[in-house]
Amino acid sequence: MDLLAITAQLSVVNGTILDEGPVSGLLAQPAPPKPARGRERDFLFIHLTLSGPSDETDELNHELVDDLTRRFFAASGSVTSALRRAVIETNDQLLRHNISVKTPREGALSCAVLHNDELYTLQVGEGLTFLGHNFGVERMPARLPQQITPLGRTAGIDIRFAYHRLQPGDMMLMCEPRLTRLTGDELAPVLVDTEIESGLESLITILATDSARLLLVEFADELPSTLPLTFQHSKQSAPKPATTKPPSGQAKNKSEPAGQKTASPVPSRHVPVTGQQVEGMTPPETANDGPADFETSARRVASSSARRLSRFTGWLAEILTRLTKKSDDEPAIHWAIPATVALIVPLIVGAIITSVYLQRDTVAEVAAIKQQMMDELSAADNVAGNTGEAQSHYLKVIALAAKVEEMRPEDQEVANMRSEAFSALDQIDGVSRLSAVSYFSYAPGANLTRITLRRSGGGIAVLDQVQNRVLFHQTDDTFEDLTTEEPITIGFGGQVVGANTIGRIFDILWMAGSASETRDSIGMVDTSGGLFHFYPNLADTSGVILGNSSAWINPVSMATYLDRLYVLDSGAKQIWKYYTSTGYTQLAGDEAISFSDEADLDLAVDFDLYAEDGSLIVLYGDGRIRYYDTRSGRVQWDQSTLAQNGLATPLIAPSRVKIVGTGLNASIYVLDPGSGRLVQLSRGGTVLTQYRIMDDAGNDILTRASDFDVVDSPMRVFVVANERIYLAERN
């Protein structure tokens, strides 16, 4: 839901309202033409107070606010990151100014950004903001921190973030630190269950003989046709900035005491720049509407809800009238019809009310989690020198983002904050980025869970778990170009192959030719123990049942070494071993790989064997990884070794592991969707490189990836995620 921001600026000196047009240090502005990506729908509010007499700081105030606005709308990424970068640069700007002058200026800053119906606030120093809801007034900050660092004093500043989900009728007041005496009870007539016109009158009464510069904002979902109002919102473009600034010390326009309402000008209810006139409205004759105008313009944002309810009840009354009304020419309506309506309507109303409360709870929980995410990002910024502590904060952001995704998928702001956390972790961990393109896209609803490359002759096979089928794409030797437009189905559940029938397929693998199987093939194995070969050279298929497969409980993946096939069965806590030379049977006493200690295979999610010596890598869903010497069954290294050899961020939720290459070119690749990384390791347990893979839109692919395969010289990574195959290469 997009909310409008109806704003009013107020400048009062000793109880006198100054009619000075735009107030120095205050700003309410939508996105300008051609903003950075992500800023198009943002509406920025700024309240900046500098120390010293206002006539001496007005010009500097204008300059800082204008530059902060320009920086924010030019910065891409999440709202929080763009706002934080803009404020930090503005602090540096004021700090450089203070170094060059005799009288330094320090600032109290409050910034807010309206994004659809979400409000992000940032405060530095003694910045003060009040937010009015239908249940009361919220003060930001609730209490000032013990140590306050104002804007422009040091290079390092304390930034306070807050996040709120807004409702139509909520109001915001940005004011100067000198008004810290104000309480929520005093401001209730200004900010709670009111509209901006009457709230502004109440605010003038509260100020009495005080001095202040204030920005009052009302958030509404629509503009009533009865209100002649010039306004701006996030869908409108910002006006061109003024070409000149008022010179310092310029005389103010005529003003009168606030107590004389009949003659007191009230600031116009608009952003202090030329706004867009509402179609069909008569523009106000002057910019200074008197209190009498408020009486004819009074309304509440909640009136829209009342109008909708009245329309619904009117419709219901009309239906009941039609049901009960009859004439001489019309037959009588059966009594069951109105009785049914009387029963159904309360059920519908009850369902609507229940859904509203459920949605309200979800919105509140999402808002609370977003607030936690912003707090963690801010805390990470404050400990930038301590990479270990900053890393823990960024990891919490990623974990919180995953929690929100379960409640509200594809929340763009959450995705932006998670991307920001990933980017920061990239710098800490030394992660490289790869650019990916969509290689092939299946119809929506497909779920590709496995991919394997045919190493001789080209070709790519994928497993679609939803339809339980394996598809084969013909490619050239480099795998970069498809030689056919559509893939062919080489195996599917229920397919009869000889005397066997394919069941639920759980893994696929390219299997090189051997003494017993002279042709290379795409191997497909199902949960009942059936192994099926598709031979690309003649496009024929054969099948066999693996020995002792009735003992399987939960097979999850397979791998090969020389003339042997291995199946990881987490349910049976075994890695079963089969010999191709004997028709995929097991040898007595050698049915599975032996380990010297407990291998915890019930938690294993994948494994692979090195082609030259049969050494074994086992990957666990809880982030552990172990490299075994299969001759002795002993662990050669594990995740603790990686932590000492360059893995600053541990594996969070790894899913797939593969050993690619031989000799000096051999590497172990680990897919970790939990942290959005593809980690390349040496066989000795040293981190070589860590990759993140992004698509053309800048979205992370590995967080939703199911499987991958790697081609060397040059390095290319094929990834399957949902219904797409991606090809990633170095930037």
Our CA angle for 225, 231, 233, nearest 5°, is: 110
Q: How far apart are CA 246 and CA 235, in angstroms?
A: 29
| Host H or E run for residue 719 | strand 716-721
Q: In what order do the strands lie in the sheet with 460-464?
A: 448-453, 460-464, 469-473, 488-492
DSSP class of residue 590 equals B
**Tokens 């698509």 appear where?**
695
Q: What is the pLDDT at residue 114? A: 93
> In the structure encoding, which two tokens stand for residue 250, read together?
């310029």
Confidence band of 299 (pLDDT split at 50, 70, 90): very low
Q: How far apart are CA 505 and CA 443, in angstroms?
A: 20
Fold classified for 433-730: Methylamine Dehydrogenase; Chain H (2.130.10)
Which amino acid, 656? R
Q: Where are the beta strands (DSSP E) in 260-362?
A: 276-277
> In the structure encoding, which two tokens stand for residue 63, read together?
């300059």
Confidence band of 230 (pLDDT split at 50, 70, 90): very low
**Tokens 């105008």 appear where?**
293
Residue 235 has pLDDT above 70, yes or no: no
Backbone angles phi, psi at 77, to 5 degrees: 95, -165
Average pLDDT (25-49) is 90
Backbone angles phi, psi at 81, to 5 degrees: -70, -40
> In the structure encoding, which two tokens stand for residue 399, read together?
């974990």
Burial 255-290 (b: 16+ CB within 10 A, else e): beebeeeeebbbbbbbbbbebeeeeeeeebeeeebe
Dihedral through CA 211, CA 215, CA 216, CA 218, nearest 10? 180
Q: Give how far Cα 361 sits from Cα of 71, 124, 366, Å.
A: 36, 31, 9
3-state secondary structure of 629: strand
Q: What is the pLDDT at residue 488? A: 97
| Host H or E run for residue 112 | strand 107-115
Q: Which residues contact 487 (CB under 8 A, 6 or more apart)?
A: 440, 462, 471, 472, 473, 474
Length of the chain: 731
Q: What is the pLDDT of residues 367-421, one digit of tens each?
A: 788 888 888 888 887 776 677 788 888 888 888 888 887 777 767 778 778 878 8
Q: Which residues contact 391 (CB under 8 A, 6 or more apart)?
A: 425, 428, 648, 649
DSSP for 490-557? EEETT-EETTEE---EEEEEEE---SS--S-EEEEEETTSEEEEEETTTTEEEEEEPTTGGG-S-EEE
Helices (H), 15-145: 54-74, 79-100
Among 698, 684, 599, smallest CA distance to 636 is for 684
Q: What is the pLDDT of residues 50-106, one digit of tens each?
A: 998 888 888 999 999 999 999 999 998 888 888 988 999 999 999 999 988 888 999
Q: How far apart are CA 174 and CA 192, in angstroms?
A: 15
Confidence band of 697 (pLDDT split at 50, 70, 90): confident
> In the structure encoding, which two tokens stand for residue 602, read together?
């019930």
What is the pTM assigned to this prediction? 0.53
Q: In what order do the strands lie in the sheet with 107-115?
A: 26-30, 42-50, 107-115, 118-124, 159-165
- Looking at domain 4-244+253-277, its CATH class is alpha beta
Q: How far apart are CA 630 and CA 609, in angstroms?
A: 9
Q: What is the pLDDT of residues 472-507, one digit of tens each?
A: 999 999 898 999 999 999 999 999 999 999 999 999
Q: Give how far Cα 705 sits from Cα of 163, 222, 367, 400, Å.
A: 31, 42, 28, 19
Residue 263 has pLDDT above 70, yes or no: no
Q: How far apart are CA 681 and CA 672, in angstroms?
A: 13
Residue 527 has pLDDT above 60, yes or no: yes
How many beta carbons lie within 10 A of that of residue 215, not counting itself? 25
| Lowest-confidence pick of 242-246, 470-474, 716-720 | 242-246
Q: What is the pLDDT of residues 565-609, one digit of tens each?
A: 999 999 999 999 999 888 899 999 899 999 999 999 999 999 999
Which amino acid, 658? K
* Cβ–Cβ under 8 Å, residues 113 and 374: no
Helices (H), 209-266: none
Q: How far apart are CA 394 and CA 428, in angstroms?
A: 10
| Lowest-confidence pick of 178-192, 466-480, 556-570 | 178-192
What's the burial of 661, exposed, middle or buried (CB within 10 Å: 0-12/13-18/19+)?
Answer: middle
Average pLDDT (635-663) is 94
Q: HSE on the CB side for 268, CA within 13 Å?
A: 21
Among 610, 650, 654, 642, smallest CA distance to 628 is for 610
Q: Give how far Cα 623 sits from Cα of 258, 321, 728, Å.
A: 67, 67, 24
* Cβ–Cβ under 8 Å, residues 211 and 14: yes
- Would you list the domain boundaries of the chain? 4-244+253-277, 304-429, 433-730
> In the structure encoding, which two tokens stand for residue 44, read together?
């920025």
Write the Ramachandran bin of 410: left for phi over 0, alpha for psi from -120 to 50, otherwise beta. Answer: left
Q: Which residues contact 615 (CB under 8 A, 6 or more apart)?
A: 609, 627, 628, 629, 630, 636, 683
Q: How close are the terminal C-alpha atoms of the chain, in Å?
A: 38
Q: Give how far Cα 453 sits from Cα of 32, 236, 476, 711, 721, Å.
A: 49, 51, 12, 9, 16
Q: What is the pLDDT at residue 727? A: 96
Residue 641 has pLDDT above 80, yes or no: yes
Q: Which residues contact 709 (CB under 8 A, 6 or more apart)?
A: 451, 452, 453, 658, 717, 718
